[in-house]
Amino acid sequence: MKRRPNSVFAPAAALAAVMLAATSAAAAEKKYDPGASDTEIKIGQTVPHSGPGSLYGVLGRVGEAYFQMLNDKGGINGRKVKFLTLDDSYSAPKAVEATRRLVEQEEVLALYGSLGTAPQTAVHKYLNNKKVPQLLLNTGASKWNNPKEFKYTMAGLPLYPTEARILAKYVLSVKPEAKIAILYQNDDFGRDFLGPFKKVLEDAGGKAKVIAEASYDLTEPTIDSQMINLSKSGADVFYNITTGKASSQSIRKVVELGWKPLQLLSAGSTGRSILEAAGLENAKGIVAIAYTKDIGSPKYASDPDVMAFEELRKKYLPNVTPDNSIAFSGYAQAAAMAEILRRCGDELTRENVIKQASMLGGFRAPHMLPGVSYSYKPDDYTSIKTLYTMEFSGKDWIVSDKPVAE
């Protein structure tokens, strides 16, 4: 008798083979570098939780809160995020130590949101040699736009030369023969604002001139002596390239000295917490560049992004004030980092992280004004190219009607 083929078991075997192949293919599609697995994504940053820049430590605390919120909702693509924010005290040696710990001991997939031109310069080559993404830096130094030589580093703020050039053009439009006094932080941050600003004045023919300059170091307790000398110069424009407490001190000192120049302030110092420390009335008339919503302003109280931040703040950060603009910026940068990781899907390699970050152009972070978005491209790491000018009324920032593109 002729035996019949096993028609029942053959299809089952075929199905098992297909399923095994599909499972193998799915497994093959998942790619991981250190800091990533089926269940976890580990990322880090260094910011000054102590020392002269401790005001910015809230960036780390709000990052912790944001990723805890995401984890409570299931994480990113099914993976929980482990976020490590280490203290560098705004010190280059401490930034090196903390960064090496994140990379070599904690083995993070990437770093994001770290603060300060000098501290991040100290780890710039190290991270690129290790091919560890150094993303959304809280510094706008021009050096971060160098994808050919430093592929793994990208700024998170508008580049300082972009901001400086727009401010210089503003001065020329309202005071074409301005006499300008400048106070600047004595590091790459200050110099990145200084050179491009002067170049615009020079190219315009030189009628507007810088007649006095003074610098300060972050370790100095006050900038009183610099401000006294600048006020005696006869300048009718004061270009204030400062950060943190130096910004608050200089704004207040202008009024105490009875000096009444047109004041220009770097965008990183326009937050309400800095202005309140100076005295809101003392800041009246200051002009700056804008690209973010003023979270302390009543006009944004019903803004969906501001309301979402407030919901997170109440639940996870009750000790942070509702109008803390630094915290709001940290929240927005965490959202941008989460978007990069989300776009990576199951290919959580450092190469794919930087690839997805370099294609983030067009993504609008929660704190950005209408018409503003990231402008990154694989061959151009300019972070943001469209900005507004704004003037402080004593209570609120009044933003210009139209954005300015460099």
- Provide DSSP, 173-240: HH-TT-EEEEEEESSHHHHHHHHHHHHHHHHTTSSSEEEEEEEE-TT-S--HHHHHHHHTTT-SEEEE
CA pair distance 88, 99, nearest whole angstrom: 9
pLDDT in tens, 160-187: 999 999 999 999 999 999 999 999 999 8
CA pair distance 343, 125, nearest whole angstrom: 26
pLDDT in tens, 238-254: 999 998 899 999 999 99
pLDDT for residue 404: 81
- Whether the pLDDT of residue 6 is over 60: the answer is no
Section 32-60 average pLDDT: 96
Reading the block at residue 21, the tokens are 């192949």
CA pair distance 127, 399, nearest whole angstrom: 38
Residues 6+ apart with CB under 8 A from 245: 52, 55, 277
Q: How many helices and strands, by DSSP H and E, does the chain display?
A: 13, 15
**3-class SS at 34?**
coil
Whether the Cβ atoms of residue 84 and residue 101 lie closer than 8 Å to each other: no
Share of the chain above pLDDT 90, in %: 82
Q: Output 246-250 pairs: Cβ under 8 A, ≥24 positions apart.
A: 246/185, 246/216, 246/218, 246/220, 247/274, 247/278, 248/274, 248/275, 248/277, 248/278, 249/222, 249/223, 249/224, 249/278, 250/183, 250/223
Residue 9: which pLDDT band, with cuts at 50, 70 and 90? very low
pLDDT for residue 206: 79
**3-class SS at 170?**
helix
Average pLDDT, the chain: 92
- Whether the pLDDT of residue 27 is over 60: the answer is no
Section 358-376 average pLDDT: 96
Give the residue with greater pLDDT, 5 vs 379. 379
CA pair distance 265, 326, nearest whole angstrom: 16
pLDDT in tens, 261-274: 999 999 889 888 89
Reading the block at residue 388, the tokens are 């507004």
Share of the chain above pLDDT 70, in %: 93
pLDDT for residue 173: 93
- Whether the pLDDT of residue 115 is over 60: the answer is yes
pLDDT in tens, 281-331: 999 999 999 999 988 888 899 999 999 999 999 999 999 999 998 999 999
Whether the Cβ atoms of residue 292 and residue 260 lie closer than 8 Å to each other: no
- Whether the pLDDT of residue 14 is over 60: the answer is no
As a whole number of Å, the end-to-end CA separation of the chain is 88
> With left for phi above 0 and alpha for psi between -120 and 50, is residue 378 left, alpha or beta?
alpha
Residue 12: which pLDDT band, with cuts at 50, 70 and 90? low
Q: What values do phi and psi take at 204, rounded to 5?
A: -80, -5
User: Environment class of residue 302 by beta-carbon count within 10 Å: exposed (0-12), middle (13-18) or buried (19+)?
Assistant: exposed
Residue 62: which pLDDT band, with cuts at 50, 70 and 90? very high
